Amino acid sequence: MADKTLVCKDCGKDFVFTEGEQQFYAEKGFTNEPTRCKDCRSAKKERFNSNDGGNRNSSGSSKPKHESFNSPRISKY
């Protein structure tokens, strides 16, 4: 295995998918290569974390849950 250079889908820059990361992905069973560079990934993660989504699934890294559910709790008690 060797380091791979991939192009970030978000910012269009080259980034390195290192040997270690490839191994990590393989261990996790991920078949897809990362599409975003570290910067974009961490930026996205930060945005996601600050988005007040209280429920974090530990194994949902490949599912982009981007929909916000407006709970229909308008009725007063």
- C-alpha distances in angstroms, 13 versus 22, 27, 31, 35, 42? 19, 26, 22, 11, 15
Map residue 24 onto helix, strand or coil: helix
Residue 40 lies near Zn ion (rule: CB under 5 A):
yes
42 or 51: CB nearest Zn ion: 42
Please answer whether residues 37 and 8 qualify as being in contact, where contact means their C-beta atoms are separated by less than 8 angstroms: yes
35 or 54: CB nearest Zn ion: 35
Instruction: Using the rule CB under 5 A, give the single segment among 9-17, 26-34, 51-59, 67-75 that binds Zn ion.
Output: 9-17
| Antiparallel, parallel or unpaired: β 4-7 and 14-17 | antiparallel
Residue 10 lies near Zn ion (rule: CB under 5 A):
yes
Residue 43 lies near Zn ion (rule: CB under 5 A):
no
Question: Which residues here bind Zn ion, judged by CB under 5 A?
Answer: 8, 10-11, 37, 40
